[in-house]
Structure 1
Amino acid sequence: MTCALEIMLVEDYSLGDVIVFDLANVNGGHIVRTDINLIRNLEVCYKTAYRRRLKGLHLVNASKIIHSAMKIVKVALSEKLQKRVFAHLPGSTTLFEYVQRDCIPDELGGTAGPVDNFSYKLREMVSREWLLEKDKYMSDESKRPAENRYGDIYGIAGSFKKLSVD
């Protein structure tokens, strides 16, 4: 997923993303072990670091247990994002009310071809040289302020009164 986000950061000019997750092999035990703070941090990273706008998150083949657990997980999300997260029961066609059938892979009932074609297209865009070039970019941690009184998850100290950015 991170590699796809890196490519979208450089190549994509969309107004927002619609993400579809297939939860056919996920059970209630996976949801119980999910850290809500991790979900919150993923949302912040997605919005601030990658500068992406989430138009919809669709969880396909979600069991009734996961469907119920999503009500609890949604509490960790912002109000706007709560309205954009949907869980679809196995065998339902409610996904197609939000996403066109020709954008969904065959395995999920769409007409966009096999899901393997999507990963092959991603692999074509990523080369070894591209990954090695991206690996060279890093922050200079010696310029980062030593004290972080405000507890930002990205380690940037400051407020509106006093802003200290490296």
Structure 2
Amino acid sequence: MMVMPRLTKEGYRIIINTQLDPDPSSYVFATHAKMVLMELEIMMGEDYSLGDVYVIDLANATMGHLLRTDINCLRNSELLSRTAYCRRIKGVHFVNSPKTIDAVVKLVKSATSEKLHTRIHTHLPGSTTLFEHVAREYIPEELGGTAGPLEKFSYQLFNKAYDMRHWFLEQDNYISDETKRPPDSKLAQDIYGAAGSFKKLSVD
């Protein structure tokens, strides 16, 4: 995961996810979601963008990765990004989309707000349609852009998070006291509807 240093002309920040491990057994979605939230924490303190555009490389993605994706974790991440961190997701672009892309899109749409659905785009391997939405100058060379090689950006976010390691560990000490929550609270159902289920997800 990397946060590109240059803002687009619209003032948007480009966030890249790429080089997924081809082995699904090493894919832990909760760990990825944790890194996303750490990235949002860092950006809340130092970023000045008007919105976020996610570019997600699915070159190595398989159905095994999809099945290991936690839908509740995905819902929580999108909800927190939009409401707690006040980030505006202006676009989600899946590049190098595999044959399973329809299932991926259905999963993402089932876990995100309706407003975001129209901002989700898929781009086939070898296509240049991504650059109809995001200029090449904001995309790493390995994904067809001209911003420079991935290794130039890949460890910047990691290093920032590592520098804040003690602060992040301290934050894990602050949690809600669930014993004081009213027993008839239906907060999760109010937010998600059928919380924690795949009832509205239709994957062929």
Bucket of the pairwise TM-score, normalised by the shorter protein: 0.7 to 0.9
TM-score, structure 2 as length reference: 0.64
Retained in 2: the 8 A contact 1:16–1:55? Answer: yes
Q: Partner of 2:61: helix, strand, or coil?
A: coil
Q: Does 1:85 align with 2:114?
A: no
Displacement of 1:20: 0.7
1:101-120 CA-to-partner distances (Å, cap 9, x unmatched) read 01100000000111121123
Structure 1 CA distance for aligned equivalents of residues 178 and 77 of structure 2:
26
Match of 1:147 among 165, 168, 182: 182
Query: What are the ranges of 5 or more consecutive residues in structure 1 without an aligned counterpart?
Result: 154-166
Amino acid at match of 1:59: F
Indicate the RMSD between aligned Cα atoms, in angstroms.
Answer: 2.4
Letter in 2 for 1:84: R
Equivalences for residues 115-154 of structure 1 within 5 A: 115-128=150-163, 130-137=164-171, 138-139=173-174, 141=176, 145-153=180-188
Greater relative contact order structure (CA < 8 Å, 6+ sep) = 2
Shift of 1:78: 1.8
Give, in whole Å, the separation in 1 of the partners of 2:94 and 2:160. 26
Match of 1:46, as an amino acid?
S
| Distance apart, 1:126 and its partner CA | 4.2
Cα drift, residue 98 of structure 1: 0.7
SS across alignment from 1:29: helix
What does 1:1-16 correspond to in 2, within 5 Å? Answer: 1-2=35-36, 3-16=38-51
**2:21 aligned partner:** none
User: In the alignment, what sits opposite 2:53?
Assistant: 18
Paired residues in the alignment total 151
Question: What TM-score does the superposition give when structure 1 sets the normalisation length?
Answer: 0.77
Task: Give 1:127 shift.
Answer: 4.9
Measured after TM superposition, the shift of residue 37 of structure 1 is 3.2
Q: Which residue is 2:98 aligned to?
A: 63
Q: Taking structure 1 as reference, are residues 150 and 11 closer, same or farther at Cα in structure 2, changes over 3 Å only? A: same
Secondary structure of the structure 1 residue equivalent to 2:44? helix
What amino acid maps onto 2:167 in structure 1?
E
**Structure 2, gaps ≥5 residues long:** 1-34, 189-204
Seen in structure 2, the aligned counterparts of structure 1 residues 69 and 143 have a Cα distance that, compared at 3 Å, is: closer
Cα offset for 1:85?
1.1
Q: 1:83 to 1:117 in 2, by over 3 A?
A: same
Structure ID, larger Rg: 1
**Aligned-residue offset at 1:33:** 4.2
Counterpart of 1:157 in structure 2 is none
CA deviations over 1:124-154 (Å, ceiling 9, x no partner): 54454x321343344364597342533335x
CA distance in 2, matches of 1:33, 1:106: 29
Identity %: 49
- Partners of 1:40 and 1:123 in 2: CA distance: 24
